[in-house]
Copies of this chain bind each other. A is one copy, B any other.
Amino acid sequence: MANDLNKVLLIGRMTRDPEFKSVNGSSVVNFSIANNRVYVTNGEKKEETHYFDCVAWGRLADILKQYAGKGKQVAIEGRLQQQSWETPEGKKASKIRVYVETAQLLGGQGQGGGSGDRSDSSSSYDSGISSGYDDYPAGDDDIPF
């Protein structure tokens, strides 16, 4: 069986602070990204917003927990993932989300803060951070951006 190409690249803003949890000792964050699309159809300008659910694991999850937040602009790279589960009624359900492999915080003019004491994290430089299970393309351990 092949390992097929599967790559997603998005820029958008977090609709809320990343939701953190720990699964079997591993860090996990879930968040949603608002991605705007602007286009012109026969002279008329149109705007749409699409919302995409994202998940990140490991060190990347820790860093996003610490530095990302509602309104922050972020570039993410990852892959599409089909989650499947059974509903309480025993029906099969599935949805698509983005498994984030790398994230770069952009110096956007988001409203920042949101949930309280994250305001101190506004070191305001861009960052590229990756999942961190490998030590290859990674950020710094102390001041990731």
A interface residue numbers (CB < 8 A to B): 1-12, 35-43, 45, 47, 50-52, 73, 75, 77, 79-82, 94-98, 102, 104, 106-109, 124-131, 133-141, 145
Could you show 5 A-B contacts with beta carbons less than 8 Å apart? A5-B77, A5-B128, A6-B50, A40-B138, A51-B94
Residues of chain B lying within 8 A (CB to CB) of residue A39: 3, 136-138
Residues of chain B lying within 8 A (CB to CB) of residue A136: 39-41, 131, 133-134
Q: Is the CB of A77 within 8 A of B3?
A: no
Residues of chain B lying within 8 A (CB to CB) of residue A124: 109
Residues of chain B lying within 8 A (CB to CB) of residue A98: 80
Q: Mostly helix, strand, loop or mixed at chain A's interface?
A: strand
* A139→B97 CA distance, assembly (Å): 23
* A125→B73 CA distance, assembly (Å): 12
Q: Is the CB of B35 within 8 A of A80?
A: yes
Least CB distance from A51 to B in Å reads 6
* A124→B2 CA distance, assembly (Å): 11
* A123→B108 CA distance, assembly (Å): 13
Q: Is the CB of A8 within 8 A of B7?
A: yes
